[in-house]
Structure 1
């Protein structure tokens, strides 16, 4: 058989093709042996879920605390300000509600949320350790975060060093007392505490006496009590202590600074109570019943009773810390020791409706 001999040109082409095949399939060239490293893609770190806060407090008053919480934990807080109708909104939203934490002022408003089934019980050793038993729910449904003591504003030149709430009805103060509306929650809470201590009949008589001593109609706000003392309309009045911090920290020469500088603060007690103390109301919070971020909600509440947050309550809002031992704002500290009325707040709330009825019965706001 005749086997044809490949031409020189064909043999060169075949050799070149073989070389290319070996280069493609065989070992890499020496300069290619150290292959470029493949960059490793790290899995994305999941972002902490935000906490949604429904609050009846002005957001500006608590924003410094929420900002501090987010800086420390990396958890954002989405704040929804609900001026009125919080229970109705929660009822309408039902299980779809995005609320994780519910925050209110006034014990009665907070307990209304509990009684209407808008909260859930939680367990937290941190909350239980920080908050005295009388200022939280035994079953973990609500917690006080700061205190608002209901005190006496008095003309700074008045020779008066101590006072009992019962003294407001004494004849010596006729035409000398200022107070906001009796149906305002701050006063309804105080009057309910009086019912709890002294009974309904004695409280009705007392309210009639206070009304007889008013220098003007029961109206306006707490700061207007200080304004009217400066204006000579009245000599004393009942109001919340933290407003004095705001007034005395106002700009020098401002109206509110003048109001604050015109008064002194005396912390009254209930003379009808054996171990009488000063009435306090609260700002407080609870975990919402349908919270989507329950863990974040508990974490926020625990932060709000930490030393750092309680100090912010004291310095930013001039409220009294709920946690014992936290440093006070100097103005608040100047009021002296706060001895809290030992009556549990839940007991006070029981008499809120009766107190409201008494206000109408005696025509307190008319």
Structure 2
């Protein structure tokens, strides 16, 4: 295996500040799951140092011994200010929020409020694998509404799923991934308004996973689901986790539309004990003071989307890739390569590159892989070189 190129430190791009040697000192899942000869471009961790305001907030708290139980509304107020400044959304009301341990556990708690055992939860496949795992574990049934060929919501498919979900007279929820993981699709206001109208027609409650909301292309905008007409009885889960690489400092917020506030208030009080106090401190600092860092990451991801498109066109032209406006993830259709349902296995074994296998994302995922773009251009280039070499 050829040596991995070294990243050139770049003070303006957080994705270029850490060398491979630096990254291999990490003990997190991304860097400890595979042997050292594997380049890990799979799980959603970013290869970046912490934003300075976040690091300072954490170290200040540790210096004070401020490591107790979480309290207060600072996180919710910071998110409300961020939403107002970034998304021109005034509707995030602190009193209609609840602290939850993380987005997926928050989704579980919200679905408990809206559905019962055996009820249906609609998802747009292919979609984030924990949607299937957590829903099944809580004794709900998944109803798939496949996305369209372009990765956008197929409303005929969604209506069929809604009709099926409520056919037995039970309650139903729609777990909307926005921006969508793994495709990176950023749903626009018209699409979200159509979702709200369709959900109202069938009596389906919408729960939006908006964890990737801050990470959109510099020339793109994000529309919060709860900001569109008809979404008043919806609920959203938000967090600074993905945008500022804070998965190890867990904290998230459940946000209710005005017609869902009473339901959100029924979340058990003990749920608020799950988030990390340091996590809340970190997320609050990120939202309040980490905007410049975030924009530098967004610019770096934009560059990597273009880089990946060019590298694939040169080295793996059969792979289908549609650069998207959201997340720092790339969804690659590798079916023309003839590697079967799990091309990630071949890229790992023969190329020593770890990618997320597409089959775990549900119907439409087989033959695909998800690649994490939040790395240096050098590591991304080397990964594609290895992927191409795996075919020879």
TM-score between both structures, scaled by the size of structure 1: 0.26
Larger Cα Rg: Structure 1 or Structure 2?
1
